[in-house]
Structure 1
């Protein structure tokens, strides 16, 4: 087969979840598939994190905006390649494309009511674009891939899709996430000491940044240790706004907000943390929870959406809408060494169910079945 894979944003320096999913999957496909011919379609960028090989060809496509890149430049490039299929990996795809289409639809959060106002213009524009494009391309997809059985059922029910059109394929996590020693030098770039709580917050309302900060304020009132909180991927000006809105400005001295953290440093920060807080309202999978557990760091996470499916019944699950419950788990973990050690061991066992190799193998099975149908 000739397989075209859209990986538009993998060369950008500040990568996020979907970028890492396609990057790591392609790297594993390179290891296991020496027969099919692959064309990886990307936008030029500074971080050349993927190299081609004998049967993997990287095609760079320049275009000023994402919508034009996807709707105009990408179909033109695909028509020249004339592949057996095009796999679009980040929720959207060209409205007009002559080759059979496989789509990874990570979630349909953009079609759901918002938990709160999003203060990011970029994310708001992305939401509008997805709402316009996705309903129009779904009927054209030969196969739709999503990342958990929860999301598979939710998408199928909400959009009334045929059961054989959509399939769940779990994400993995990078093998460099593991327990390590001597993390202090990297940790000190972001926070003054180890043994902190770690939270990946951003402007997306589903991440529950305000509720998590409120929970942390309740934790500080009862804890004798008063561990600091490292909040990644959130500008300090926005952090200050949230603290003022929640009337918890007094916790600011305990907070560290360095902004975007490169993926290569995350392994040190997970290892340096006392616990990782993954208290989102809504996730279709939840790679950060696996990364933290793989580093031997207990995770306090939500009992909603796909998160229990990934973390498992033995995880520390809380109602993300209850700051009191989140704070209670933080204190419980801090006060019980036995519970802490049990959560470390549980996490290291749980992550064995997931890997990018397994993801790539299932994706290859889909490609090969797909070619027979064509």
Structure 2
């Protein structure tokens, strides 16, 4: 088989969730499949470290261009030029005019739901517009869809009215380097980012679903109740956005309780999870929620949401709160700050969750779907 994998963003310097999932899939396929030919299509190679080409895995940089043009023109053209038997698109969207068999990883359909967040950056809003235009058409062309949780599978099946057997659940997994780090490694990373000795960690962005506003409101509530809480460490945020949001909330002084680090490479995150007293992941809506498992693997107690996929991922190993009510998050933070015993129980239960989610099993299911697709008429 000649298999194409769309992995447009995996060689960029600042990789995030979907990029890391695609990297893990490709690495595992390299280990288990030495017979079929793979062509990994990327936009440009800013950082060539994620994937090393092998005899049957070829990295194909296509002309650098904005994503819609790259996908609809350059990728579609490459499918024909490389005489592919199938194309697997890993990031929700796909070329409309693709004459080969198509599989799509549809991480979520948040942008198609009535609960459609209209805030966020222009980049995020334009991305959602592109998905709203593209996804309804390409899912009809796909032989199979992959998604990352049973919750999201139900949402997709319900929204498109399609056969459930066409939507395969392939869980994300936790990369092997996510584990409790040594004190020496934690000290190095603490110095690198100037981290406080004790802190709460929040990973997110300005996309409204990540609930930055709710996190800041919960801190304001804690301050109002005279609760002594550690600084909040926030990677990959700009200060201007926070200052503006806090001013609007009437709590500008909270900027003094927030520690901004800039972008943190994936390889440094385990040491930061390992040092954090608590990890906050109170999203309004997720298709999976990989950072929940990453934090658990590093021995960090987690507070996350009781909505969408997050209870499916966290099980009983996290404190679940209502993300639409900042009061519940502030109460959850206060509860864990005051109870070392409760934090330790979450840590112990948390270590049991990541082994249930394995990238190799996911790659095996993906390869089987490739074979079934080519064997079907």
Report the TM-score range of the alignment, normalised by the length of the smaller protein: over 0.9
Could you tell me the TM-score, scaled by structure 2's length? 0.96
Give the corresponding residue for 1:103. 104
Maintained 8 Å contact 1:200/1:278:
yes
Give the corresponding residue for 2:231. 228
Maintained 8 Å contact 1:277/1:299:
yes
Give the corresponding residue for 1:35. 35
The superposition leaves residues 64-107 of structure 1 with CA deviations (integer Å, 9 ceiling, x where unpaired) of: 21111100110111111112210001000000011010001100
Maintained 8 Å contact 1:191/1:230:
no
Give SS of 2:261's match. Answer: strand
CA distance in 2, matches of 1:314, 1:176: 20
Return 187-196 or 163-172, whichever deviates more: 187-196
Q: How does 1:281-320 map to 2 (within 5 A)?
A: 281-320=284-323
Q: Aligned pair in 2 of structure 1 residues 247, 201: CA closer, same or farther (>3 Å)?
A: farther
Aligned pair 1:214/2:217, yes or no?
A: yes
Return 21-30 or 360-369, whichever deviates more: 360-369
Give SS of 2:277's match. Answer: strand
Maintained 8 Å contact 1:278/1:302:
yes
Q: How does 1:44-123 map to 2 (within 5 A)?
A: 44-48=44-48, 49-114=50-115, 116-123=117-124
What is the CA-CA distance between 1:192 and the residue it aligns to?
3.5
Give the corresponding residue for 2:334. 331
Give the corresponding residue for 2:279. 276
Give SS of 2:352's match. Answer: helix
Maintained 8 Å contact 1:303/1:317:
yes
What is the CA-CA distance between 1:116 and the residue it aligns to?
5.0
What is the CA-CA distance between 1:341 and the residue it aligns to?
0.9
What is the CA-CA distance between 1:223 and the residue it aligns to?
6.2
Gaps of 5+ in 1: none
What is the CA-CA distance between 1:112 and the residue it aligns to?
2.2
Aligned pair 1:251/2:273, yes or no?
A: no
Return 285-294 or 256-265, whichever deviates more: 256-265
Gaps of 5+ in 2: none
Give the corresponding residue for 2:132. 131
The superposition leaves residues 283-310 of structure 1 with CA deviations (integer Å, 9 ceiling, x where unpaired) of: 0001111110000000000000000001
Give SS of 2:65's match. Answer: coil
The superposition leaves residues 265-285 of structure 1 with CA deviations (integer Å, 9 ceiling, x where unpaired) of: 111111110010000000000
Q: Aligned pair in 2 of structure 1 residues 370, 223: CA closer, same or farther (>3 Å)?
A: farther
What is the CA-CA distance between 1:118 and the residue it aligns to?
2.3
Aligned pair 1:187/2:203, yes or no?
A: no
Give the corresponding residue for 1:238. 241
Return 85-94 or 251-260, whichever deviates more: 251-260
Give SS of 2:74's match. Answer: helix
What is the CA-CA distance between 1:52 and the residue it aligns to?
0.8
Give SS of 2:145's match. Answer: strand
The superposition leaves residues 142-171 of structure 1 with CA deviations (integer Å, 9 ceiling, x where unpaired) of: 101111000000111011112222111100
CA RMSD of aligned residues (A): 1.5
Q: Aligned pair in 2 of structure 1 residues 229, 259: CA closer, same or farther (>3 Å)?
A: same
Could you tell me the TM-score, scaled by structure 1's length? 0.96
Aligned residues: 374
